[in-house]
A and B are shown apart, each in its own frame.
Chain A
Amino acid sequence: MSVADNQAAAGRGSAQAVAVLSAIGRFLAIAVTTYLGLLAVTFFIGRVIPIDPVLAVLGDRAPTAVVERTRREMGLDLPLIEQFYIYVKSALSGDFGTSVLTTNPVMADIRRVFPATLELATLGTIIGAVIGVPLGVLAAVKRGSFIDQIVRIIGLIGYSVPIFWLGLLGLVLFYAKLQWVAFPARLDVVYEYTFTPITGFYLLDAAMQGQWDVFYDAFRHIILPAALLGYFSLAYISRMTRSFMLNELTQEYIVAARAKGLSETRIIWGHALRNAAVPMVTVIALSYAGLLEGSVLTETVFSWPGIGLYITNSLQNADMNAVLGGTIVIGSVFIAINLFSDLLYRVLDPRTKAR
């Protein structure tokens, strides 16, 4: 390699670094604006709903004097704009206030419940991607065949059937009748007091501590809700894979590869899927983010103490601090996943490197 080549490579490298940095900068600017918007919208929605926040703290039976005192303590007698200012100020320093329901700081609550959701959604996405991608590929390759129809029907059911209904059905079949999986919770009662979680991801914690019986139990508890979420992301992922693959399979390089005499397996799984993989990353990331925020019903049916259940509970009890904190955390995760998939794009797609 000549000196000139090296310089050119270095030049390309720094230009690429600048491009990445400016992309990150742009992203951060968008993220900050989104946060502020999110804060403002959730805060004002929280204040215009016709629910008295004091009611959430005290319940219906508190005497009037206590109600008035609490109203002052919560700062609800101040003008709305001043309340918002105070809220943003403390939110920026990481303080989302205290949850009415649990009496803990909202961030502490979220740190406790979020791993449960993350564990479930991660497993669900893995199941969805691992099964969904091959199914989509298969459907694209055997387009119009019996297999294609089956994949389409599976996808359609996943799209259109309400998740809580499917969840209950799953419970009736796999838990109540067959006893293959464990009952709705994260662990059996007996393990609750012999096992101390470290990270909050029970599977990981149990494996790290070498408690394989706990691992097995946690697995029996998580597999049904995870499979259910997996099924839903599978429905989406397989459909998208199919259409991306169909697009790739009509490209000229496929014809060229066939002309070269490459095996069909290599053409499909290597060439075509590798090219379809780039948009697939976005699809999978979006479905992952969707599972993180949208597993409310699954968490309710399976008594899964995650962030979905936490936010719904808070919402039903007009616990606005918790709702706002939860919304912002989920918003952050959404933005972070988007950023991450954008970066992955650059790794997977050589053209973005050349530019």
Chain B
Amino acid sequence: MMMEKFALRSRSLLAGAAMTALLVGIAPAFAVTPADTLVEGFAIDDIISMDPGEAFELSTAEVTGNTYDLLVRLDLSDTSKVKGDLAESWTVSDDGLTYTFKLKPGMKFASGNPITAADVAYSFERAIKLDKSPAFIINQFGISGDNVTEKAKAVDDTTFQFVVDKAYAPSFVLNCLSATVASVVDAKLVKEHVAAVTPSADYKWDNDFGNAWLKTGYAGSGAYKLREWRANEAVVLERNDNYNGEKAKLARVIYRNMKESSAQRLALEAGDIDVARNLEPNDLDAIAKNADLTTTSAPKGTVYYISLNQKNANLAKPEVRQAFKYLIDYDALSTTILKGIGEIHQSFLPKGDLGAINDNPFKLDVAKAKELLAKAGLPDGFKVTMDVRSGQPTTGMAESIQQTLGQAGIQLEIIPGDGKQTLTKYRARNHDIYIGNWGQDYFDPNSNAQTFASNPDNSDNAKIKTLAWRNAWDIPDLTKETEAALLEKDSGKRADMYKDLQQKILDTSPFVIIHQQLEVAGVRKSLKDFALGPSFDTNFVWSVSK
């Protein structure tokens, strides 16, 4: 009896499985995203916090840019300038130390609270006192936890005053204030959510300035408000009806975490997402050929380079440094591995920065490189290693470089590794050659100049460890020149100083800068006005409609 039941049960289960298959079979075929919602497939697994005072990741920058307002914002029509956002106007005192901002009247946060200069002052205070990764962007004006309430303060409800320690170039100061760390938070709302902290030697304050709450919370005034962030799953934005500018066209924006390029492409083709953000060249090609889809791209402030550690005696020779620049097949790279995702760019300032040089003097020239190597006393080449993070485009680039270096007798051994692993080695200066990228921290030429062209202390336990330091490149003169460019009030002259610095880096540095990253996206044609910005925090979605 029992056995019969067993047999019967397995039979009915089989029937159930068949039913299941049938049910799936008759599922209707529809896939359209809701008409009032923008759905993007995006690898958002780098997000660790939504607090603008703490976040320094690329996907977070995009969310912060869309959900928070700043005093001033990058002018997208000319990215070497800024324009007012919450600020209606501003003045700089004659000594170049005091910046006074006048806020636009009658603005509100998403919560309905009025936006006042006190909110701006509190935003600066908490960013500085929290002292998280992006705080240095404001720190560099001589502002610390001890003096921030003096240096960044509300004069009255609509007047905010910012005092710096040196007469910096105003363009520098204003560019830094357009970084996400200077986003203005709703002080009243945040103060309702502060947690008590026991002060210690490393953290002198008695509360967390709402950091724990803001990691997933929201207290801004941008065109969209953050409804929810579920780590590794989704970020959901909703239209802010209290926004002081033109209201967002769509009611909702949903970023869904999708890591795989091919999965993003399938979802885009099927209409389940409107935009695919992490496409590899082959998927991009397929999308470009699809009649319902299109692609868009924008150069971002990230440059890819290889760098030669000056602790290696061979690589420290000036002729060898120069020879490497002639041993990269830039043309072949740009038509293959970098096609659609990068454009050749050999100077350290990305296109769009004040003073950026866009002519690329180097071409693959093996004869010239051999001549330089002979001059360095290495006519037969030498052996050297390169640390390469697994994945594209770095692996493909490294293989191409290995082949062209070989033509001049340089035997390159590629050491593959995980991203964090190669980076750990690089940061400890234990590499020969490193291939990597560098994205500017804020939209000002100083960000990249400081790391590529200055190295205040080349000793092993230096306090400031720039990219020049990581490659043990000791450059006291260039360091001084970089510092001087910060204090040049005239924007035209300042631009010229950066041109000179870039030229010197091209001529002498151990950095072989190869290309500037293009951010690409696959987009459904039914979507209107989707555009990528010049930086991650300017990938605005409020103008998008369907």
| Interface of A toward B, CB cutoff 8 Å | 49-52, 55-56, 58-66, 69, 72-73, 100-104, 109, 113, 127, 130-131, 133-134, 168, 171-172, 175-176, 178-185, 188-190, 192-193, 219-220, 223, 265-266, 269-271, 273-274, 300-303, 305, 309-310, 313, 316-318
Contacts and interface: CB of A to CB of B under 8 A. Distances in A.
Contacts of B257: 303, 305
A188 B34 CA distance: 10
A270 B4 contact: yes
Given A183-B267, A303-B260, A223 B427 contact: no
A171 B263 contact: yes
A9 B135 CA distance: 76
A130 B232 contact: no
Interface stretch (B121-129, B396-404, B418-426, B500-508): B418-426
Contacts of A223: 20, 24
Most chain B beta-carbon contacts within 10 A, residue among A56, A302, A318? A318
A178 B21 CA distance: 14
Contact of A131 (B17, B23, B131): B17
Given A176-B269, A303-B257, A313-B45, A130 B131 contact: no
Contact of A130 (B14, B57, B427): B14
A270 B7 contact: yes
Contacts of B427: 52, 55, 60
A220 B266 contact: no
Interface in B389-424: 418-421, 423-424
Contacts of B269: 176
Interface in B477-527: none
A133 B6 CA distance: 12
B34 A50 contact: no
Given A183-B31, A313-B232, A175 B270 contact: yes
B423 A60 contact: yes
A169 to B, nearest CB: 11
In the A-B complex, the 5 residue pairs with the closest CB atoms: A270-B3, A179-B29, A102-B231, A269-B7, A183-B272
Given A61-B133, A102-B231, A50 B24 contact: no
Interface in B85-137: 131-133, 135-136
Contacts of B14: 130-131, 134
Given A73-B202, A269-B6, A271-B3, A176 B421 contact: no
Given A176-B270, A180-B25, A100 B48 contact: yes
A183 B17 contact: no
Interface string B325-340: 0000000000000000
A215 B31 CA distance: 17
Contacts of B236: 192-193
B465 interface: yes
B441 A134 contact: no
B51 to A, nearest CB: 10
Determine which residue in B4, B13, B233, B462 has the highest number of CB atoms from chain A within 10 A of its CB, and name it.
B233
B323 interface: no
Given A181-B24, A188-B272, A273-B6, 10 more contacts: A59-B57, A63-B139, A73-B202, A130-B16, A134-B10, A180-B29, A193-B236, A270-B4, A302-B263, A303-B263
Interface string B200-232: 001000000000000100000000000000111
Contacts of A64: 462-465
Given A130-B17, A183-B267, A183-B270, A309 B232 contact: yes
Nearest to A103: B215
B420 A189 contact: no
Given A52-B427, A61-B441, A133-B10, A220 B34 contact: no
Contacts of B231: 101-102, 104, 109
10 contacts: A51-B421, A56-B420, A102-B232, A133-B10, A168-B263, A180-B24, A223-B20, A265-B7, A301-B263, A313-B45
Nearest to A220: B27
A290 to B, nearest CB: 21
Interface in B422-453: 423-425, 427, 439, 441
Contacts of B300: none
B254 interface: yes
Contact of B34 (A65, A66, A172, A189): A189
Contact of B256 (A101, A185, A220): A185
A59 B58 CA distance: 11
Report whether over half of chain B's contact residues are helix, strand or loop; otherwise say mixed: mixed
B171 interface: no
Given A183-B31, A220-B27, A66 B133 contact: yes
Contacts of A190: 34
B154 to A, nearest CB: 28
Interface of A (DSSP majority class): helix
A51 B418 contact: yes
Nearest to A269: B7
A149 B465 CA distance: 65
- Interface-central residue, B48, B270, B425, by most chain A CB under 10 Å: B48
Given A59-B133, A189-B37, A220-B24, A49 B48 contact: no
B232 A127 contact: no
Nearest to A72: B202
A168 B262 contact: yes
A179 B37 contact: no
A172 to B, nearest CB: 7
A108 to B, nearest CB: 11
Nearest to A183: B272
Contacts of B441: 61
A163 to B, nearest CB: 14
Given A72-B202, A103-B49, A183-B267, A305 B232 contact: yes
Contact of A266 (B3, B233, B423, B465): B3
Given A51-B418, A64-B464, A130-B17, A59 B3 contact: no
Contacts of A192: 234, 236, 254
A183 B258 CA distance: 11
Contacts of B20: 223
A220 B27 CA distance: 8
B542 interface: no
B33 interface: yes
Contact of A55 (B4, B31, B132, B424): B424
Interface centre among A51, A104, A168 (most CB of B within 10 A): A51
A219 B23 CA distance: 10
Contact of B420 (A66, A172, A318): A318
A59 B424 contact: no
B259 interface: yes
B162 interface: no
A192 to B, nearest CB: 7
Contacts of A102: 48, 231-232
A239 to B, nearest CB: 18
Contact of A50 (B266, B424, B465): B424
Given A133-B10, A265-B7, A181 B27 contact: yes
B6 A103 contact: no
A189 B17 contact: no
B458 to A, nearest CB: 14
Nearest to B262: A168
A281 to B, nearest CB: 14
A319 B263 CA distance: 25
A171 to B, nearest CB: 5
B56 interface: yes
B466 to A, nearest CB: 10
B10 A183 contact: no
A301 B265 CA distance: 12
B463 A270 contact: no
A241 to B, nearest CB: 12
B39 interface: yes
A171 B33 CA distance: 19
Contacts of A58: 133
A103 B27 contact: no
A55 B423 contact: yes
